[in-house]
Amino acid sequence: MTLRIHGNRPLKTLPGLATRPTPARVREAIFNIWHGAIAGCRWLDLCAGSGAMGAEALSRGAALVVGIEQSAPACSVIRQNWQSIARPDQEFRIWRGDVVQQLSRLHGQAFDRIYFDPPYASALYAPVLDAIARHHLLDAAGELAVEHSPDRSLPVPEGLTPYRQKIYGNTAVSFYCWH
């Protein structure tokens, strides 16, 4: 499968269904919503999968992109893609492992934008959202977007407020901020 991001740049992807890239129209919508807030931002990509969201953030000028992904082959592809896109003044890191455990490594680091896209049927939503709030990973003026099935209701962790939801066919994106 060929995946293209901002500027018509191609990305490598894993064969098969091991990773489920965020659909192009959803990626475009997210970056339109966050337009003007990406250049220079600190971006956290959780359950990074193909790495397309982090690649988009890099291509639009994010200063730092950190990705967390469980799959070793996916991490290898993400690293290659991000290396091909990142400019010398941009920093990126991709960490392999359980997303909840890896979030504790980031305690005290605040991100301007966080994108969380787990497998829709997973039990990761509550523990990851709780960890984001507990470790104060979202900057005071930052925003968190969570991709999920439209028929799934998401938890609301202490300190975070859901303020918007957008539905794009079989994909919903819920946005949170600090209250």
- Answer whether residue 13 shows pLDDT above 80: no
User: For residue 170, what are its two tokens?
Assistant: 């079989």
pLDDT of residue 88: 96
What value, to the nearest 5°, has the Cα angle with vertex 102 and ends 80 and 27?
50
Examine the pLDDT at 2 and tell me if it is beyond 60. no
Handedness of CA 86, 88, 91, 92 (dihedral sign): positive
Tell me: domain 3-178, CATH 3.30.70.360, correct? Answer: no
Identify the pLDDT of residue 72.
94
**If you ran DSSP here, which 8-state letter would residue 111 be given?**
E
Question: pLDDT digit string (tens) for 16-64?
Answer: 555 566 778 899 999 999 999 999 999 999 999 889 999 999 999 999 9
Q: Where are the domains of the chain?
A: 3-178
Contact in structure between 46 and 74 (CB atoms under 8 Å) = no
Tens digits of residue pLDDT in 53-85: 999 999 999 999 999 999 999 999 999 999 999
Q: How far apart are alpha carbons 28 and 25 in whole angstroms? A: 5
- CA-to-CA distance for 97 and 69, rounded, in angstroms? 6
| Cα angle: 122, vertex 128, 136; to 5 degrees | 170
State pLDDT tens for residues 116-166.
Answer: 999 999 999 999 999 999 999 999 999 999 999 999 999 999 999 999 999
At 24 the pLDDT is: 80
